[in-house]
A and B are shown apart, each in its own frame.
Chain A
Amino acid sequence: MGDDYLDLRLETFLEQLSAAGSAPGGGSAAAVTVAAAARLVEMVASCSHRWDDAGGIVAQAATIAARAAELASTDAVAWEEALAALREAEAGTLDAKGSRLLERKLDAAAAAPLEIASLGADVAALAALACERGDATYRADAAAAAALAAGAARAAAHLVRVNLAVRGSDPRLARALASERSAAELAAGLVESGA
């Protein structure tokens, strides 16, 4: 639980994803997808030698990728803890204190996907810039990065909704949905333009 997933072989990470009933789950998969999308943007910027701001985009993409990778582990830990509390609740052994604890665990389990959705929106924004200003040879990769980031942002926003078991007015859900929307619009713009 809570391994540094970047230290794993890809095959091992995928096997862990398929393991029954335990982390990593959807949140970690979304985080790793955001990290992969960010690294794609980094590649596009690195190859765009005539783009004055490319170095600054590389630095931002690398920073976001590192944050997303860290969130893959954070999410796994939070989800395992929430899952344990949920099982206790299902067994009917929760008292009032246990119920409050469960609520806190679910809140914590929503925090990581909220950040993952936000990072997904940021990667989509970087991908849009890379598509517009980067080397034309790599535009399709930039558009692919935006699409991956948008998918991950959508998945993460869904997890926020589920983990908060929510009322539509929760500001955290509103933030997650705003990130999802922003990433989706950017990605759609790039993919539909044929970039």
Chain B
Amino acid sequence: MTEGARPSALSDAELVERCRAGDEQAWGELVERYSRYVYAIISRGFRLGENDAEDVFQDVFTRVYTNLDSLRDSSALRPWIAQLTRRRCLDVLASKGREQPAEEVGGAESGPDLHELDEAFAVREALVSLSEACQEILDRFFARDQSYRTIADELDLPAGTIASRIARCLGKLRAELEETE
């Protein structure tokens, strides 16, 4: 990645290096990139209430900011943030007399476990590395529930090619995920 690359195009390791160098734009990107992830762990994994969730959220990013230099492996940003978030959630639960995250308390029906959140986040990260055309078509089919006909009409593509295009983009996504594992 080049010196002047947009923060959104940077790998985690590059983003961490820029943050350490005091790049405010990079810090903004880091928060943007991980805010949904942190919030998902807090709210879906541990089911904290709104006020506690807000406190943990603020505290996690404060800790990330102040302790970023202590992160030994820059590419391990995500597990580090996940660990910080879990610890803070457990602190809050312990202070209220609960000791387990919601999915352990309530069983499998309580929602996705933290591993699923990690997977969802990894997919989201890998998606960003695909071409815009692939991101667009996968988003339309899987996130917006659009039919092949609608996708074909709106992207001005032959209707008969949509399923194959989606399949090829999924193949690229899979390769990207395998590469990062």
Q: A residues engaging B (CB < 8 A)?
A: 52-53, 55-57, 59-60, 63, 67, 118-119, 121-122, 125-126, 129, 178-179, 182
Task: Check A129 against B141 for contact (C-beta < 8 Å).
Answer: no
From A55, A56, A119, give the contact of B147 (CB < 8 A): A119
Tell me the minimal C-beta distance from A61 to chain B in angstroms: 9
Given A55-B174, A67-B145, A122-B148, residue A60 in contact with residue B166 (CB < 8 A): yes
Complex-state Cα separation, A119 to B169, whole angstroms: 21
Secondary structure class of chain A's binding surface, majority of residues: helix
A129 close to B142 (CB less than 8 A):
no
Q: Can you add 8 more A-B contacts, CB < 8 Å, to A55-B171, A56-B170?
A: A53-B164, A55-B170, A59-B167, A63-B141, A122-B148, A125-B163, A178-B149, A179-B147
Partner of B167, one of A55, A119, A121, A182: A55
Interface of B: prevailing SS: helix
- With most chain B CB atoms within 10 A of its CB, the pick from A57, A125, A182 is A125
B160 adjacent to chain A (CB < 8 Å): yes
Q: How far is the CB of B135 from chain A (nearest CB, A)?
A: 15
Chain B contacts to A: CB under 8 angstroms: 141-142, 145, 147-149, 159-160, 162-164, 166-171, 174
Cβ B147 vs Cβ A60 within 8 A: no
Chain A residue nearest to B150 (CB atoms) is A118
Q: Give the complex CA separation of A67 and B147 in angstroms.
A: 11
Output the nearest chain A residue to B167 by Cβ-Cβ distance.
A56
Q: Determine how close the nearest CB of chain B comes to the CB of A113; give it in whole angstroms.
A: 14
On whether the beta carbons of B168 and A125 are closer than 8 Å, the reply is no
B170 close to A122 (CB less than 8 A): no
- Please indicate the chain A residues that have their CB under 8 angstroms from the CB of B171 in the complex: 52-53, 55-56
Q: Which 5 A-B pairs have the closest CB atoms?
A: A56-B167, A53-B167, A56-B170, A118-B147, A122-B148
B123 CB to closest chain A CB (Å) equals 12
Contact call A57/B163, Cβ cutoff below 8 A: yes
| Distance between A32 CB and nearest chain B CB, rounded to angstroms | 18
Task: Report B5 CB to chain A, min CB distance, Å.
Answer: 30
Q: How far is the CB of B84 from chain A (nearest CB, A)?
A: 33
Q: How far is the CB of B133 from chain A (nearest CB, A)?
A: 15
Given A53-B168, A121-B147, A178-B149, residue A63 in contact with residue B163 (CB < 8 A): no
**A30 vs B160: C-alpha distance when bound (angstroms):** 23
Cβ-defined partner of B163 (8 Å) among A60, A119, A179: A60
Residue from B148, B164, B166 having most chain A Cβ neighbours under 10 A = B148
Q: Which residue of B lies closest to A133 (CB)?
A: B164
* Contact A129 to B164, CB < 8 A, known contacts A52-B171, A59-B170: yes
Query: How far, in whole Å, are A182 and B158 apart by their CA atoms in the complex?
Result: 13
23 A-B pairs within 8 Å (CB atoms) are namely A53-B167, A53-B171, A55-B170, A56-B168, A57-B163, A59-B167, A60-B141, A60-B163, A60-B166, A63-B141, A67-B145, A118-B147, A121-B147, A121-B148, A122-B149, A125-B160, A125-B162, A126-B163, A129-B164, A178-B149, A179-B147, A182-B149, A182-B159
How long is the Cα–Cα vector from A57 to B164 in the complex, in angstroms?
Answer: 8
Smallest Cβ-Cβ distance to A129: which chain B residue = B163
What chain A residues lie within 8 Å of B147 (beta carbons)? 118-119, 121-122, 179
Minimum C-beta distance from A46 to chain B (A)? 13
Most chain A C-beta atoms within 10 Å of own C-beta, residue among B159, B163, B168, B170: B163
> Which B residues lie within 8 Å of A59 (CB)?
167, 170
